[in-house]
């Protein structure tokens, strides 16, 4: 299924400043090419106890969060979709699971939410298989669970389905197993990567952990994860293209400058998402980045982002 045109090819990453009605409308009014909601769950959730966000850790290397899926619940987001669509850009609903009072099995939670958001008019669903802050072990690290969640969605949902993946780092056999499953399931796009899980920061003045939930561990985003995200984007891009498969890869991780976005495109991303920099700068970040990307393209003799997607070359010997 053809995915909607994302123009410009820069959106928010699900999570930062995409939870409330006001935040989502601010994204709608911004220069982002789509509005991506916070990952929604079957029941509304207050999320984890505070402190649960270290927005800017030392040396500005990034942010660490353990938000715990704070969201309004899928029914409220379904109500908001028609209003959000009036901004004239695609609305992408991010879907997750969480323990809930109805005790629905994992795959049923995803399906109920997905059907409701499709019905409400969402243009695309981003299936979050990678939240780091529930158990520390994302669904996407268990191929059987990926199949259990994605097969019913593939069968029953008609709008495009992307999947949000965790970093695989050096778990290469696992990466290959999951990537081949995504080819078999014919997902419409892959978004990589979610935050780098299970990291820790310490406030030296008080000698305390920055975050309270889950023993202080959280997910890292921002400049520190850029090279990790580029590796993940490129690995998926190569895996698909070497098999003659056109699944688009959307890049997420570490973009704060126009150059960071260009690197993502060169590595294989056709759309990029911005999380920590949105948190730091607010929705004006999209206009700043896109203006910069357009200038860079013109200065280097390119007329569109498509011309540089995946165009990185191998390093040559001296
Ligand atoms: O809400 C969160 O704690 C959270 C989620 Br669902 C996610 O996908 N990624 C992240 O860094 N935090």
pLDDT digits 0-9 by tens, 292-304? 999 999 999 999 9
CB of residue 68 inside a 6 A radius of ligand 1: yes
Compute the mean pLDDT over every residue in the chain, rounded to the nearest whole number. Answer: 97
Q: What is the pLDDT of residue 132?
A: 86
CB of residue 131 inside a 6 A radius of ligand 1: yes
**Pocket-testing residue among 53, 63, 65, ligand 1, by greatest number of atoms within 8 A of Cβ:** 65
CB of residue 133 inside a 6 A radius of ligand 1: yes
CB of residue 132 inside a 6 A radius of ligand 1: yes
Cα–Cα distance for residue pair 212/54, rounded to 1 Å: 11
pLDDT at 135 over 90: no
Cα–Cα distance for residue pair 175/167, rounded to 1 Å: 9
What is the per-residue pLDDT across 138-192, written as a single tens digit (0 to 9) for each? Answer: 999 999 999 999 999 999 999 999 999 999 999 999 999 999 999 999 999 999 9
pLDDT band at 245 (very low <50, low <70, confident <90, very high): very high
Category of 51 on φ-ψ map: left (φ > 0), alpha (ψ -120 to 50) or beta: beta
- Are residues 120 and 79 in contact, defined by beta-carbon separation less than 8 angstroms? yes
Range in 61-65, 131-135, 240-244 with the lowest mean pLDDT? 131-135
Q: What is the pLDDT of residue 19?
A: 98
Angle of CA points 257, 219, 52, to nearest 5°: 105
Cα–Cα distance for residue pair 202/198, rounded to 1 Å: 14
In the reported structure, the alpha carbon of residue 128 is separated from the centroid of ligand 1 by a whole-number distance in angstroms of 9
CB of residue 219 inside a 6 A radius of ligand 1: yes
Cα–Cα distance for residue pair 41/45, rounded to 1 Å: 8
CB of residue 195 inside a 6 A radius of ligand 1: yes
CB of residue 62 inside a 6 A radius of ligand 1: no
User: Of the candidates 245, 212, 226, 112, which has an alpha carbon nearest to the alpha carbon of residue 167?
Assistant: 226
In the reported structure, the alpha carbon of residue 199 is separated from the centroid of ligand 1 by a whole-number distance in angstroms of 13
Residue 219 alpha carbon, nearest atom of ligand 1: 11
Domains annotated on the chain, with CATH: 10-47+68-198+221-308 (3.20.20.70)
210-228 average pLDDT score: 97
β-sheet with 63-65: strand ranges across: 53-54, 63-65, 218-221, 196-199
Residue 164 alpha carbon, nearest atom of ligand 1: 8
- Are residues 244 and 277 in contact, defined by beta-carbon separation less than 8 angstroms? no
Cα–Cα distance for residue pair 248/225, rounded to 1 Å: 21
Q: What is the pLDDT of residue 227?
A: 98
CB of residue 15 inside a 6 A radius of ligand 1: yes
In the reported structure, the alpha carbon of residue 2 is separated from the centroid of ligand 1 by a whole-number distance in angstroms of 27
Residue 197 alpha carbon, nearest atom of ligand 1: 11
Q: What is the pLDDT of residue 233?
A: 98
Q: Strand, coil or helix: what is 185?
A: coil
Cα–Cα distance for residue pair 300/277, rounded to 1 Å: 25
Q: What is the pLDDT of residue 74?
A: 98
195-199 average pLDDT score: 96
In the reported structure, the alpha carbon of residue 298 is separated from the centroid of ligand 1 by a whole-number distance in angstroms of 36
pLDDT at 1 over 90: no
Cα–Cα distance for residue pair 3/252, rounded to 1 Å: 18
pLDDT band at 318 (very low <50, low <70, confident <90, very high): confident
Q: What is the pLDDT of residue 158?
A: 98
CB of residue 249 inside a 6 A radius of ligand 1: no
What is the per-residue pLDDT across 5-47, written as a single tens digit (0 to 9) for each? Answer: 999 999 999 999 999 999 999 999 999 999 999 999 999 999 9
């Amino acid at each position: 299924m053809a995915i909607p045109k994302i123009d410009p090819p820069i959106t928010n990453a699900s999570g930062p400043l995409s939870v409330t009605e006001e935040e989502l409308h601010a994204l709608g009014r911004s220069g982002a090419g789509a509005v991506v909601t916070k990952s929604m769950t079957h029941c509304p959730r207050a999320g984890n106890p505070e402190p649960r966000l270290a927005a800017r850790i030392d040396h500005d290397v990034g942010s660490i969060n353990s938000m715990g899926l704070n969201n309004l619940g899928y029914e409220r987001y379904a109500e908001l979709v028609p209003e959000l669509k009036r901004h004239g850009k695609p609305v992408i609903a991010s879907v997750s699971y969480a323990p809930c009072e109805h005790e629905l099995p994992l795959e049923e939670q995803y399906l109920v939410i997905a059907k409701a958001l499709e019905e409400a008019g969402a243009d695309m669903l981003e299936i979050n298989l990678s939240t780091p802050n529930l158990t520390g072990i994302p669904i996407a690290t268990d191929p059987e669970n990926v199949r259990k969640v994605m097969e019913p969605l593939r069968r029953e949902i008609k709008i495009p389905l992307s999947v949000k993946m965790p970093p695989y780092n050096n778990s290469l056999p696992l990466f290959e197993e999951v990537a081949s499953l995504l080819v078999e399931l014919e997902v419409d796009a892959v978004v990589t990567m979610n935050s780098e899980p299970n990291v820790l920061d310490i406030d030296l003045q008080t000698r305390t952990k920055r975050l309270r939930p889950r023993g202080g561990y959280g997910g890292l985003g921002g400049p520190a994860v850029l090279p990790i995200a580029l590796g993940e984007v490129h690995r998926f891009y190569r895996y698909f293209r070497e098999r003659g498969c056109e699944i688009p890869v959307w890049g997420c991780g570490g973009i704060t400058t126009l150059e960071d976005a260009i690197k993502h495109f060169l590595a294989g991303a056709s759309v990029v998402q911005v999380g920590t920099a949105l948190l730091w700068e607010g929705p004006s970040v999209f206009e700043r980045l896109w203006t910069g990307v357009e200038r860079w393209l013109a200065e280097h003799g390119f007329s569109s982002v498509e011309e540089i997607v995946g165009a990185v070359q191998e390093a040559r010997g001296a």
